[in-house]
Chains A and B, each alone.
Chain A
Amino acid sequence: MSALVEVEGLVRRFENVRAVNGVSFALPTGQVAGLIGANGAGKTTAMRILATLDQPDAGCVRLGGVDIVEFPGRVRRRIGWMPDHFAPYKDVTVLDYLDFFGRACGLRGADLVRRRTEVVDFTEIGPLADRMMDKLSKGQTQRLCLARMLLGDPDFLILDEPAAGLDPKARLEFKNLVRLLRGQGKTMLISSHILSELGEMCDTLVFMDAGRVVHHGDTQSLQRHDHGSAGVVYDIAVDGPPAALLAWLAVRPGWKLVEERRDGARAEFAQLEPAAIAAELRRLTVDGVAVLEFRRAERRLEDAFVSLLREGRPPAPPGPVVAAPAGSEPPPLS
């Protein structure tokens, strides 16, 4: 599959801060990619550059082979941009809003009516057609924004925090719309702080930290890969109180308790060979622990993100060392 979007060595400085620092990745046509990072990681800056709304200090972005820094005007109509926040116009109905943006995209007459009807049908905002924009709920506004974005039929969609502030129902509807768009072959770059949802929606994930890409790969590989761990983590459920299991884990060599649970525990085993693991499971039952479930734990994206941040950070510069408080986490996700 050929790459629709190619980003190479993107750099954007704000005074002395490198908000984006040598970012490179490629998105094949029809791929849905998630952009993940903490506040200030450079996600929105990178997305704005990709949307031709900002200029990089260095680096290159190509959309379908056209350099968007050099020829922003030529690629703008191929880009759909949904910002993380925008306020609705006053005294403008939903239909008038779409009508305006349709005209702004160069549509007129029958073409405008046809395209407007298509996006209204797709986003199911027909019943809201005559309602004032500023009277819409957050979810309805997001659907309207999506409809607006699709009017020009762009092939590369950039969505900055599209699910932020949506209730669960609206979030589910939005996820379905993204699925449908993927079915239409649209290439999408989505940033979100709800990582589990990104995992469901996206083919690949781009993790950013301090302006750099710390990981780019598909969701499954990220969840399977145990960054920074020597062994493999297992979820073990037992019949009754987990005291016997915890005692067994404490004395058994190679095992390390990760998390104690009401019905068992999550523990890490140092060896990776399947035979060794099978032997351990047999030993566990022989030792009288009533095992109900024993399975390899799938890492949550949040955990993967946290460990990636820990791995990706450069070592602290020499000087006075300040110990981080126990259990401290990286900054909150945006």
Chain B
Amino acid sequence: MTPATVPAAARGDFPDWLPPMLVKELRQGLRARGFVGLFVTFHLVAVIIFWWTIEMNAASGLRGTFDWLNGLYWTFLNLVLLLVIPIRGLAGLRVEMDSRTLDLLVLTRLSSWRIVMGKWVALMAQGGLFLIALLPYGVTRYFFGSVELMSDLVVLGLIFLFSGMLTACALWISAMPRLFRILMPIVLFLLVQGVGLASVANLVFGGGGSRHPFAGVEWVQLVALLSLTFAFLGLAVRRLAPPAENHALPARSFALVHVLGALLTAAATGVLLARGAVMFAVAVVLIVGAIEMCGDARPMLAHWRQVEDCRLGRLARFLLPGWPSAALFVAGAFALIAVPALFLPDWRPPGASGLAFAWWFVLAWQMLVFPAVLLSFLPAGSPVRLAGTGYFVIQALFGTISLVSLSNSVDFLAGATVARSLESFCRMLPISSFWMSERLLQSGFPGPGFVGQLLMFLLIAALAWRRSRPYWAEVGRFEDRAGGRGADPAS
């Protein structure tokens, strides 16, 4: 075949400016029968319903027609953005995994991040296409008046962001084992039902839509949505990345950005946002910490090299995959928050003393580390340790114990010996001691069960140190080797 017979793509054409994964996904996605069929059907149905609504409701006056159109407009929008696009995401990475093309992608210059981001952006672009396609119907509503452009745009933007978060979550689910892929969409659906659709329905039908948009965009909600989207994308990346890629680095950098952002926000705004920002950062560190500690990762020289490229010196030890490094990182992140909070009451929950708040962080650290230490006694490759199952089972087990204990401590059992004994016992246990520590913050320091908690903390810290010694020995070897850099052909 001569070069002339190959259909020549325009040289330097538009796709050259876009990431390859995005180009491929858009070409594939827009060509798919599912998308084309949905797009055409959607317009047909929308045109018929809108025409029918205007005709049939003409008698009831403009007000009734507007409510109908408004309701239909938002229903269509939510169906597409909060249901159809995330559902398409459920096939996202699964397609690559089932067809075994991930290996082929990994050997190109595409990183796991670029693969996942390409898929996510392509899905959101398809959502955006639907959004633009809906504009004529939105414009129709203007014919009847009483539409506020800015509030509509704010609502649209929030729905789009929520759709982005759900789609990122769907991509993560698509890379999960079969059982999770069945269970998680159900949870996702309930979440959408409970939070997304309900709030939007309330907004649209209950309050009259455009006339009562969100009173004001809460920046914390916005940051939370973006953070969750990033977190889900990060989780999806982990599922398909080759073992030599260090994903602790971006995940922990993400948590660290939140901590530093919270510290700056708290310092700048004082009592206004300090507590919210600090607690949000704590939540991010807890989530990232749990994800980082549940894995079965072992340190590799390739991981070390990636961190070393950031020229962090010994700080690189905070950014390696594996629970020992994660335990170190969480301790550091908590210390960054807890130490200033000792002296700044605005940063603490109301009524909590500085020492009580600091001890609360110690319990949080212990809660995160305990399951990892326990699982380290199991042989490597044990099914319980795989995919973090064992970690979260232990967390759930001890969390349930604390819930049972709390339910036994309600008023009608107050004073009962059994309930008090159970509560005292649970105050000492790792994990449940953290969940029950709310009263600690209020009752000052040292709170009830402090001695037991201290003993438990010392035991877990000692075990963590003992069990992580081979890990740190291996990392030490990497440091020695990296110090020599004899094997690095680039140096």
Q: In chain B, what residue has the closest Cβ to A114?
A: B3
In the complex the two chains form, is B6's CB within 8 Å of A66's CB?
no
Of B96-104, B220-228, B323-331, the one contacting chain A is B96-104
- In the complex the two chains form, is B9's CB within 8 Å of A70's CB? no
Kindly state whether residue A263 has any CB partner on chain B within 8 Å: no
B470 at the interface (CB under 8 A from A): no
Q: Which residue of B lies closest to A96 (CB)?
A: B27
From 84 to 125 in chain A, residues with beta carbon under 8 angstroms from any chain B beta carbon are 85-92, 95-96, 99-101, 103-106, 108-110, 112-114, 116-117, 120-121, 124
B15 partner, pick from A55, A90, A103, beta carbons under 8 A = A103
Are B7 and A129 neighbours in the complex by a CB distance under 8 Å? yes
**B195 interface residue (CB < 8 Å to A):** no
Query: How far is B1's CA from A129's CA once the two chains are assembled, in angstroms?
Result: 11
The docked-state distance in angstroms from the alpha carbon of A55 to that of B108 is 18
- Give the A-B pair count, Cβ closer than 8 A: 141
Please report the C-alpha to C-alpha distance between residue A105 and residue B487 in the assembled complex, in whole angstroms.
26
Report how far A69 CA is from B489 CA in the complex, Å: 13
Instruction: Provide the bound-state CA to CA distance between A148 and B2, in Å.
Output: 18
Interface segment among B144-152, B253-261, B280-288, B298-306: the answer is: B298-306
Q: Mark A72-94, 1 if CB is under 8 A from B, else 0.
A: 10101101110101111111100
Q: A152 at interface (Cβ–Cβ under 8 A)?
A: yes
CA distance A74 to B490 in the complex (A): 10
- Say if the beta carbon of A294 comes within 8 Å of chain B: no
Query: Is the CB of A127 closer than 8 A to any CB of chain B?
Result: yes
Q: Does A52 contact B (CB under 8 A)?
A: yes
Residues from chain B with Cβ under 8 Å of A70 in the complex = 301-302, 305, 487-488
- A127 neighbours in B (Cβ, 8 Å): 1
The interface size of chain A toward B, counting residues with CB under 8 Å, comes to: 56
Partner of A67, one of B3, B105, B487: B487
Question: How far, in angstroms, from A124 to B2 measured CA to CA in the complex?
Answer: 10
A155 CB to nearest chain B CB (Å): 14
Contact A104 B16 (CB under 8 A): no
Q: Is the CB of A109 within 8 A of B100?
A: no
Q: When the two chains form their complex, are residues B6 and A126 in contact, meaning their CB atoms are under 8 A apart?
A: yes
Q: In the complex, are the beta carbons of B302 and A69 less than 8 A apart?
A: yes
With a cutoff of 8 Å between Cβ atoms, the chain B residues found around residue A74 in the complex are: 489-490
Given known A88-B99, A109-B11, A113-B11, contact A72–B104 (CB-CB < 8 A): no
Q: Which residues of A contact B28 (CB under 8 A)?
A: 89-92, 96
B417 at the interface (CB under 8 A from A): no
Q: Across the interface, which residues of A come within 8 angstroms of B13, CB to CB?
A: 109
What residues of chain B lie closer than 8 Å to A55, measured between beta carbons?
A: 243-244, 300, 302
Instruction: Answer yes or no: B161 CB below 8 A from chain A CBs.
Output: no
Q: Please give, as numbers and ranges, the residues of chain A lying within 8 Å of B244 by CB-CB distance.
A: 52, 55, 69, 72
Is B1 within 8 A of A83, CB to CB? Answer: no
Bound CA span A91–B33, Å: 9
Option from B9, B12, B99 in Cβ contact (under 8 Å) with A87: B99
- What chain A residues lie within 8 Å of B6 (beta carbons)? 95, 113, 116-117, 120, 126, 129
- B84 interface contact, C-beta 8 A: no
Majority SS at the chain B contact face: loop
Give the residues from 1 to 50 in chain B that come closer than 8 angstroms, CB to CB, to chain A: 1-3, 5-9, 11-13, 15-16, 20-21, 23-24, 27-28, 31-33
CB–CB A100/B23 < 8 A:
yes
B301 neighbours in A (Cβ, 8 Å): 69-70
Least distance between A292 CB and chain B CB atoms (Å): 50
Task: Output the nearest chain A residue to B19 by Cβ-Cβ distance.
Answer: A103
Closest A residue to B13 by beta carbon equals A109
Residues on A with C-beta less than 8 A from B98 are: 87
In the complex, are the beta carbons of B104 and A83 less than 8 A apart? yes
Chain B residues lying within 8 Å of A67, measured Cβ to Cβ, are 487
Residues from chain B with a CB closer than 8 A to the CB of A130 are: 7
Closest to B115 in A: A104
- Min CB gap B383→A, angstroms: 9
Which residue on chain A has the smallest CB distance to residue B381? Answer: A15
The closest CB in chain A to the CB of B17 belongs to: A108
A106 and B1 CA atoms in complex are apart in Å by 24
How far, in whole Å, are A100 and B101 apart by their CA atoms in the complex? Answer: 13
> Contact: B108 with A101, CB < 8 Å?
yes
Chain A residues within an 8 Å CB radius of B300: 55, 69
Which residue of the partner chain A has the closest CB to B478?
A: A70
**Known A70-B302, A90-B28: A81·B23 in contact at CB below 8 Å:** no
Q: 1/0 per position for B228-246, CB-CB distance to A under 8 A?
A: 0000000000000011100
| A91 and B31 contact, Cβ closer than 8 Å, known pairs A72-B244, A101-B108 | yes
30 contacts between A and B (CB under 8 A): A14-B381, A48-B103, A53-B107, A54-B242, A65-B489, A69-B301, A70-B487, A70-B488, A71-B302, A71-B488, A71-B489, A74-B489, A74-B490, A83-B103, A86-B101, A90-B28, A91-B33, A92-B31, A96-B27, A100-B20, A101-B104, A103-B16, A104-B20, A110-B11, A113-B3, A113-B11, A117-B6, A127-B1, A130-B7, A148-B104
List residues of chain B with CB under 8 Å of any chain A CB.
Answer: 1-3, 5-9, 11-13, 15-16, 20-21, 23-24, 27-28, 31-33, 95, 98-101, 103-110, 242-244, 300-302, 305, 379-381, 487-490
Extra inter-chain contacts (10) besides given A77-B108, A104-B21, A114-B3, CB under 8 Å: A53-B107, A90-B28, A95-B6, A99-B9, A100-B20, A101-B108, A104-B109, A105-B108, A106-B109, A121-B1
A-B pairs with the 5 shortest C-beta distances?
A126-B1, A87-B99, A103-B20, A104-B108, A100-B24
